[in-house]
Amino acid sequence: MRRFFKLGPAFLILIVFVFLTIHYFDGKQVWKGISELFEHPFLLVIMWIVYFLSFCLKGWAWQLYLKGKARFSTCLLGILYSLLVNHLLPIKVGDLVRAKILSVRDDKVNYEEALHSVVVLRVLDMLCLIGITLTGLLGLDVSFKFPVWSIIAGSIFCIITLSVLHKYFPAFLKRHISLLKNAFSGRNGLAIILVTFFSWVLEGGILYGTVLALKGDLSFFETVFSNSITIAGQIFQITPGGIGNYESFLVFALGLFGFPLIEGYTIAVITHFMKFLFSYMAGAVVILIYPVSFKTVKGWVWIKGVRRK
SS3 state of residue 140: coil
Per-residue pLDDT for 284 more than 90?
yes
**Alpha-carbon Rg for the chain in angstroms:** 20
**Mean pLDDT of all residues in 296-301:** 74
Average pLDDT for 32-46: 90
Helices (H), 40-93: 41-65, 72-86
The residue with greater pLDDT, 196 or 187, is: 196
Axis crossing angle, helix 72-86 with helix 94-105, rounded to the nearest 10: 150
Mean pLDDT of 187-207: 91
- pLDDT of 233 > 70? The answer is yes
Extended beta strands in the chain, E state: none
Evaluate if residue 107 carries a pLDDT over 90. Answer: no
Q: Which of the residue ranges 10-14, 181-185, 205-209, 287-291 would you say has the lowest mean pLDDT?
A: 181-185
Q: What is the mean pLDDT of residues 73-91?
A: 90
> pTM for the complete prediction?
0.83
pLDDT of the residue at 308: 40
Per-residue pLDDT of 127-164, as tens digits, reads: 888 888 888 877 776 655 555 555 565 566 557 766 76
Q: Is the pLDDT of residue 206 over 80?
A: yes
Average pLDDT, whole number, for the chain?
Answer: 82
CB 288: neighbour CB atoms within 10 A? 8
Most confident of the following: 8-22, 152-166, 254-268: 254-268
3-state secondary structure 264-285: HHHHHHHHHHHHHHHHHHHHHH
Asked whether residue 45 carries a pLDDT value surpassing 60, the answer given is: yes
- The answer, yes or no, to whether residue 304 has pLDDT greater than 50, is no
Q: What pLDDT, on a 0 to 100 scale, did the predictor assign at position 134?
A: 80
Return the higher-pLDDT residue of 302 and 191: 191
User: Domain-by-domain residue ranges, the chain?
Assistant: 2-17+47-142+178-300
39-55 mean pLDDT: 93
> Higher model confidence: residue 268 or residue 185?
268
pLDDT of residue 256: 86
pLDDT at residue 307, as a whole number = 43
